[in-house]
Amino acid sequence: MRSKRGRLDRFISQHTQISRNKLRTAFAAGKVSVDGQIETDPGYQINEFSRIVLNPGTEQEQVLQENSPLYLMLHKPRGVVSATKDHQHQTVLDLIDHPRKEELFLVGRLDLNSTGMLLLTNDSRWSQRIMAPEAKVEKVYQVELEKDVTPDYIDAFAQGMYFPFEDITTLPAKLEILGPRLTRVTLQEGRYHQIKRMFGRFRNAVVSLHRERIGALELVKPDSSTLELGEWVEIDSRSITSPCRIFR
């Protein structure tokens, strides 16, 4: 989803009956504010979260837009589809009881039978900053395999793997062996079925996959208790990069 950006004067003209001539006068007279600051440039670029006010601080004050971004974290259970609508399965949105949930979209996905952290937002720029490979935001998964894992997997993951279908080489990934068939994988990107395809090079099928962490964000509530399967919590946008957990 792309961020909704546009010119300030165009937005005002679309939401009021003010002519272009009167708009120029309003800008020159300091009668337009954006996010609490007087704005005199008609071409100023706004987005869907800009707070736009005509005649600020007067009896004629008129708020034209006042949207706020939403950031939610959900602990996805097995069997719930990573989508906002589906005719066959329960969706992650079905698990969320929030008055503005229809505004939300997913920041990345998990397969139907995978569990763990899912993020939802109405802020496309935040989503892009997290999911873009160049952002190198860590995504950490606990992965159970069908067969034993050997140390040679570690080097293969660290070197990156070439995917001919996309004609790309994955960024280096960290593999930790936790048990004979249990691993922890840390990625800095999220290619299509990336973990399954990487283990597939060894003809070793993924039995279960659980996302533990994205950036600095873990599956916990504001009181530091565990976020249980199917539960969600509203978070602050800084939670991804902050060294500590931040909640609204």
**Residue 11's pLDDT band (cuts 50, 70, 90):** very high
- What percent of the chain has pLDDT above 70? 94
Size of the chain, expressed as the number of residues it contains: 248
The domain 6-65 is classified under which CATH number: 3.90.180.10, 3.40.50.261, 3.10.290.10, 1.10.10.10?
3.10.290.10
Residue 170 has pLDDT above 80, yes or no: yes
Kindly state the average pLDDT of the residues 220-226. Answer: 88
| Cα separation, 95 vs 231, whole angstroms | 8
**Residue 132's pLDDT band (cuts 50, 70, 90):** confident
Give pLDDT, residue 114: 97
Decide if 215 contacts 140 (C-beta within 8 A).
no
Exactly one of 35, 86, 111, 167 is catalytic; name it: 111
**Residue 2's pLDDT band (cuts 50, 70, 90):** very low
The vertex-92 CA angle with 86 and 96, nearest 5°, equals: 120
Give pLDDT, residue 161: 95
Token pair belonging to 166: 């996309």
**Residue 125's pLDDT band (cuts 50, 70, 90):** confident
Decide if 145 contacts 207 (C-beta within 8 A).
yes
Give pLDDT, residue 248: 34
What is the chain's mean pLDDT, rounded?
A: 90
The domain 71-240 is classified under which CATH number: 3.30.2350.10, 3.40.50.300, 3.40.50.2300, 1.10.10.200?
3.30.2350.10
| 8 HSE (CA, 13 A, CB side) | 23
65-122 per-position pLDDT tens digit = 888 899 999 999 999 999 988 888 999 999 999 999 999 999 989 999 999 999 999 9
Give pLDDT, residue 169: 93
- Listed by start position, the domains of the chain span 6-65, 71-240
Give pLDDT, residue 38: 96
Token pair belonging to 241: 């990069």
Decide if 137 contacts 215 (C-beta within 8 A).
yes
Give pLDDT, residue 17: 86
Kindly state the average pLDDT of the residues 229-244. Answer: 76
Q: In Å, how far from its chain's centre is CA 15?
A: 30
Give pLDDT, residue 4: 65
Give pLDDT, residue 236: 84
The structure's pTM equals 0.80
| 41 catalytic per annotation | no
Decide if 229 contacts 80 (C-beta within 8 A).
no
Token pair belonging to 107: 């920041």
β strands within the chain, DSSP E: 6-7, 32-34, 37-38, 45-46, 52-54, 62-65, 71-76, 105-107, 115-121, 139-145, 162-163, 168-169, 174-179, 182-187, 206-214, 217-218, 232-234
Residue 240 has pLDDT above 80, yes or no: no
Give pLDDT, residue 203: 97
